[in-house]
Each structure stands twice: as C-alpha cells, then as structure tokens.
Amino acid sequence: MLAASGGGRSGRTVLVSSSGTVAPGWGSVTEAPERPAPGDAPGRRGRRQRRRRSRGERILRWSLVVVAVVLVIAAIGYGYVRYRWGQVKTLACNTCAAVADGEPFNVLLVGSDTRVGQGTSFGSVQQAGGQRSDTIKILHVDPNSGTARLLSIPRDTFVQMSDVPASTGLAQDQKINASFDTGPQPLIATIENTFGIPIQHFVEVDFTGLENAVNTLGGINLNFPYPVRDNDNGINNSGLNITKTGCQLLNGQQTLGLARSRYYQYYANGYWHYDGSSDIGRIERQNIVIQAIAAKAKGSFNPLTVNAFLGGVVHDITVDQNLSFGDMLSLATKYHAFSPSSLQSFTLPVVPAVSSQAGDVEIVNQPQAEQVLTQFLGHAPGPVSTPPLDRYGNPIFPPSTTTTTAPPSSQGSTPTPAPAPSPSASAPSFDPTVC
C-alpha cells in the first residue's frame, strides 16, 4: 500500500510503502525534520547540546563573583567609617601649624575634665561653665620612619598664658591646664610659645569618651601587684578601688578611676602606702592605660568591634577641622602593625613648688627640660616668646638663651637640677602593667 507525503524540504511528493521504506526509482528524498519528543519544552534540546564549562572556567567565574562581593563590602565599610568620622565634632584651629607631606608632626592629645551635662558622675561639679585639661600629652609622629613618641606635660606646670581672653580672669600667670578653659587654641598657643613645640593637630577626649572606648573593646587587661585605691584624706575622688591582685579585666569606669587618680595608694605589708610622686605618677599610669587600650584594640580588630568602638566614641571626641578622614586612614594604614610597646614615653621634668599666685605648682627643671624636648622632637625645640616661670613668676630660660636671662630674683628662682628622666622608664613596682 502506498501513502503520499509532502513534508520533504525538496517540495516533491514522495511515495512511501507501508513498511516505511522509500519506493525505489523515485529519486533522492530529504526527510522531514524530527519533531520534539512529547513533554520537551521548545529550545530545551538546544540547551542540552551546549558545551559544558570546564572546571577551570567554573573556578574563574566564582572567583570573579567573590572578588566583586569583597570589593562591594570594602566600599560599604569605607563609606561607613567615613560616615562615622563625619559625626566627630570639629573646631577651627588658627594656631595649628601647617603640615608638610611626609614630614613629622605633633598632635596635642587633651583629656578634658568638663562636667557640663554630667552632673556628679565624675565627682563634684567645679568650673561647670568652663573646663580644664585633665591630661596634656603630645604625640610626635614620623611617617617616614614609622615611629611615634609621647610627651606628657604636668597639668600644674607654671606658665604665662597665651591667647587667653581677659574676660575669663585667667590671662595672668597660671597652671597650664587653665589655658584650656575656653578651648584648645589658647592651650596650643601657650605650648608653642612656652616650649617651642609646634602643634599641627589636636584631639580632645572627655571622661565619657574614655569610658566608652574601653567598654566597647570589652575592657583592658592590667596586672596589679597590690590592691590600690584613691584616697584624699578619706575621700575617693576618682573612684579607683581595685581589691585584688593579679591580671584582671578593667571596665571603662575602673579604667577612668585609675587614669584620674591623683591620691594613689597601694596596700602592702599590712597598711596603705601613698605614691608621693602625685601628678607624675598619675602621668605614668595614664601611659600604661594608653598602651593597654592600644594593645586591646590591635588584638580585637573585627568589623563588630570597629563598629561598636566608633559608635561609642564619636560623640565624645573633638578634633581640629584640618584633621581629615584621609589623614586618619593614612595613619591607620601606616601604623597598623605598630606595637604599643614601641611607643617611647617622655615626661617634662618639673619639681614641685608653691606659688603665691597659683598655689601648689610644678616648676620646669632646666636644663633637663631642654634635653628631654630635644630627645622627644629629634631636634632642638623652636624659639620661645614666653618661657616657663619659676615660683615667683620669673622666666626660666633654657641654656641656649642664658645670655638674655634676667638676673635671678633675690628670693631665688631656679629649682635644683635633677637628672633628666629617660624615655620609657620602667614603672614603679606598685603600678600596674599590661598583661
């Protein structure tokens, strides 16, 4: 039996036997296109026939995806940190010196004792309308060598004020911390004019900022060889009260108590002993706190910690308006591997005295002070216009300007010289250490 079919591409009629074979003698025939199997979606068969990717191609594809994700996360992180930095308060600084690219520069670090808006959280409310620099430190940064040094100036150092408004009643000879009453500019001017140290930037942190910084890091670890406390004739001004010895974790409030303590006592051999160095000992313990914070921050670096740290301190920090986010990012990149134990620490040499003008003060000890400043800066300090004062208000000139020194007061003016302290001197045996 024969059947007719017209499905060939030649357009000719083809006779096919009932067995499905082409009848002989009728010429060549092109078969009709194969129909897709039932259930096959259009185009699926074509996809099945595509060349399978090699293992190397698949790895490359996923590698590109991972790189893209990392870049997006990095961009988000950069933007977030920049956003956080934008929340930091800034102030104009007309007295800040310009910084040349790559050259060493000095950053004034101020711990403010302002009680404004904080009630009695940090002791009695004194000078509520103003503030004092509870801590005065200068960080010398040398980007080329990757080094950093820290100089502490005792807050009771007796000096002649610079740029302090007469309306404050503090424009006369005072303790240097009083120059911070209306903000950082008079303090910067006083430091530059008194010690010949140019200041390029400043960073101010208040009490709450220190507490929050420590708390967001999960505390700091310090080893106490003795129980310690703050005791001013039976009054604990700073709140310091460490009752046990050994390596222990301090929270923000305990750390602040240690950093602020000026009446430090340690318990040994059955009774309490005073640290007779007063503010000098306090400076040394503040340096220990700085090292502990830096060590904990370096060892706790992760996105969650960074987020908590930035969120906890941005509202308690003030910087000069020229200290940009780019500057901070560059420093962080340059010093990310810097070891806190490598930070050289200096303290301006002073001796205690009593002034009829300012009460208990610290008098700059020359020529040791000049030697320490030279070590700290890496060169001799610049010229000064208002040298530090002795207890009677007479200027104490450095050795390089002794030819212009005024005749000594009949009452005596220059303190007895003492050996200049060396940098990074070991802490007294009763002070805590980083652990």
Among 32-46, 99-113, 156-170, 339-353, which stretch is predicted with the lowest mean pLDDT? Answer: 32-46
Instruction: Give the integer Cα–Cα distance in Å for 95 and 133.
Output: 17
Question: What's the chain look like in SS3?
Answer: CEEEECCCCCCCCEEEECCCCECCCCCCCCCCCCCCCCCCCCCHHHHHCCCCCCHHHHHHHHHHHHHHHHHHHHHHHHHHHHHHHCCCEEECCCCCCCCCCCCCEEEEEEEECCCCCCCCCCCCCCCCCCCCEEEEEEEEEECCCCEEEEEECCCCEEECCCCCCHHHCCCCCEEHHHHHCCCHHHHHHHHHHHHCCCCCEEEEEEHHHHHHHHHHCCCEEEEECCCEEECECCECCCCCEECCCEEEEECHHHHHHHHHCCCEEEEECCEEEECCCCHHHHHHHHHHHHHHHHHHHHHCCCHHHHHHHHHHHHHHEEEECCCCHHHHHHHHHHCCCCCHHHCEEEECCEEEEEECCCEEEEEECCCHHHHHHHHHHCCCCCCCCCCCECCCCCECCCHHHHHHCCCCCCCCCCCCCCCCCCCCCCCCCCCCEEC
Question: Would you state the pLDDT for residue 55?
Answer: 67
- Buried (b) or exposed (e) across 97-119, using 16+ Cβ within 10 A? bebeeeebbbbbbbbbbbbeeee
pTM above 0.85, yes or no: no
Question: Would you state the pLDDT for residue 176?
Answer: 95
Cis peptide before 415 (omega within 30 of 0): no
- CA 255 from chain centre, in angstroms, equals 16
Question: Would you state the pLDDT for residue 118?
Answer: 45
What is the per-residue pLDDT across 386-419, written as a single tens digit (0 to 9) for each?
999 999 999 998 765 443 333 344 344 444 444 4
What is the per-residue pLDDT across 298-335, written as a single tens digit (0 to 9) for each?
766 666 666 667 777 777 888 888 887 777 777 777 77
Instruction: Give the integer Cα–Cα distance in Å for 344 and 12.
Output: 101
Q: Which domains does the chain have, with CATH numbers?
A: 86-434 (3.40.630.190)
Question: Would you state the pLDDT for residue 249?
Answer: 97
Question: Would you state the pLDDT for residue 418?
Answer: 43
Token reading at 128: 């509520």
Instruction: Give the integer Cα–Cα distance in Å for 227 and 285.
Output: 15
The neighbour count for residue 400, using CB atoms within 10 Å, is 14
Question: Would you state the pLDDT for residue 115?
Answer: 46
Instruction: Give the integer Cα–Cα distance in Å for 121 and 115.
Output: 8
- Buried (b) or exposed (e) across 10-46, using 16+ Cβ within 10 A? eeeebebeeeeeeeeeeeebeeeeeeeeeeeeeeeee
Sheet holding 220-224, edge to edge: 246-250, 220-224, 433-434
Instruction: Give the integer Cα–Cα distance in Å for 401 and 166.
Output: 30
- pLDDT exceeds cutoff 60 at 162: yes
- pLDDT exceeds cutoff 70 at 377: yes
The neighbour count for residue 334, using CB atoms within 10 Å, is 13
Whether the CB-CB separation of 177 and 184 falls below 8 Å is answered with no
Token reading at 112: 């403010």
The neighbour count for residue 91, using CB atoms within 10 Å, is 13
Q: What is the mean pLDDT of residues 293-299?
A: 81
Question: Would you state the pLDDT for residue 416?
Answer: 45
- Split at pLDDT 50, 70, 90, the class of 117 is very low
Instruction: Give the integer Cα–Cα distance in Å for 374 and 26.
Output: 113
Burial class (CB in 10 A: 0-12, 13-18, 19+), 145: exposed
Among 122-131, 149-158, 336-345, which stretch is predicted with the lowest mean pLDDT? Answer: 122-131
